[in-house]
Structure 1
Amino acid sequence: MEKESIRFEEAMLKLEEIVQKLETGDVPLEDAISLYKKGMELSAFCHGKLQDAEKQLISIIDEEGNKTPFDPTKGVDSNA
């Protein structure tokens, strides 16, 4: 699977398509198993992307390149 070359949004759309196909119940068993496997791969890929995004959002890189935990109470410009 070309997981690394697709975007999160594309993976979510493919996952939604798979879920819709499986929900119809009109898919032969062999195809359903294959779709289920692909869906699980896409789900794991999306979950990983969301975890990566979360890690980036909870850290801020300062001028020296050091990551520091994000604290919304510090550094807020009240004039903004």
Structure 2
Amino acid sequence: MVTKSKKIEPATYEAALQELEQLLVQIESGALPLDQLLTGYQRGAELLAFCRSRLEAVQTQIQVLDANLSQPLGE
């Protein structure tokens, strides 16, 4: 059951993704009252923003690693 929107940031990307998936199941069930549906949607938006932020950070790290690996040895 959806409760008030948690302002707690998930511990990991995987935890956020799991919570988001569970939330989607609840929302898509169509059994939630309107106020809980709105709260769930808001939490989902928070989780999505968290996941996007984590993915962007990892993408940046990969680009840095790729740039370092593409340099000739000894530089």
TM (norm. structure 1) is 0.74
1:26 to 24, 27, 31: 31
**Structure 1, residues 12-43: CA drift from partner, whole Å, max 9, x if none?**
00000111100000000000000000000000
TM (norm. structure 2) is 0.78
Q: Which has the higher helix share?
A: 2
Using CA pairs under 8 Å that are at least 6 residues apart, name the structure with larger relative contact order, 1 or 2.
2
Gaps of 5+ in 1: 61-68, 76-80
Gaps of 5+ in 2: 1-6
Determine what percentage of the aligned residue pairs are the same residue.
Answer: 26
Paired position in structure 1 for 2:47: 42
Q: Highest Rg: 1 or 2?
A: 1
Once the two structures are superposed, the pairs formed by residues 1-80 of structure 1 within 5 Å of their partners are 1-3=7-9, 6-60=11-65, 70=67
Tell me the secondary structure at the aligned position of residue 58 of structure 1: helix
Q: Which has the higher strand share?
A: 1
Letter of the structure 2 residue corresponding to residue 10 of structure 1:
A
